[in-house]
């Protein structure tokens, strides 16, 4: 079955830039979406269609795509950004949706 691969964890200091990657063979063909989830809360859509920021999402969050890898970039990381981040996309057929395993972002 199709898989998306994310690093399990990432630690950054406040004010630095965090880059979370997500790799998958179908990413050149299928859009990627990024979700932020804080403990005890439902996920929040942060980036759609690889690089579009939904209304209300901070400009510090951006998305990019290159080949089989998509990247969520968080500029000027703040304590409030500490959360789990998940990428989501579809397989080559588009019939099956997949989430990456999630990346736990720790703000030191």
Partner 1 sequence: EVQLVESGGGLVKPGGSLRLSCATSGFTFDTAWLSWIRQAPGKGLEWVGRINDKTEGEITDYAAPVRGRFTISRDDSKNTLYLQMNNLKTEDTALYYCTTGSHWGRGTRVTVSS
- Give yes or no for a contact between 84 and 37, defined as CB atoms under 8 angstroms apart: yes
According to DSSP, the β-strands at 9-12 and 103-107 are parallel
Give the number of C-alpha atoms closer than 13 A to the C-alpha of residue 81, restricted to the C-beta side: 29
Q: Judged by CB under 8 A, does residue 95 bind partner 1? A: yes
Q: Judged by CB under 8 A, does residue 37 bind partner 1? A: yes
Q: Judged by CB under 8 A, does residue 23 bind partner 1? A: no
Q: Judged by CB under 8 A, does residue 48 bind partner 1? A: yes
- Among 76, 78, 97, 106, indicate the residue that binds partner 1 (CB under 8 A): 97
Q: Find the DSSP H helices in the chain.
A: none
- For the chain, how many residues are written? 108
Q: Judged by CB under 8 A, does residue 35 bind partner 1? A: yes
Binding region for partner 1 (CB under 8 A): 1, 33, 35, 37, 42-45, 48, 54, 84, 86, 88, 95-102
């Amino acid at each position: 079955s199709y898989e998306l691969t994310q690093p399990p964890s990432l630690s950054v200091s406040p004010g630095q830039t965090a880059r979370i990657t997500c790799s998958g063979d179908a990413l050149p063909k299928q859009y990627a979406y990024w979700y932020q989830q804080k403990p005890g809360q439902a996920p929040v859509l942060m980036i759609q269609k690889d690089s579009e920021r939904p209304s209300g999402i901070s400009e510090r969050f951006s998305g990019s795509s290159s080949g089989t890898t998509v990247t969520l970039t968080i500029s000027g990381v703040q304590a409030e950004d500490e959360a789990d981040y998940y990428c989501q996309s579809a397989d080559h057929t588009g019939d099956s949706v997949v989430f990456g395993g999630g990346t736990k972002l720790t703000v030191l």
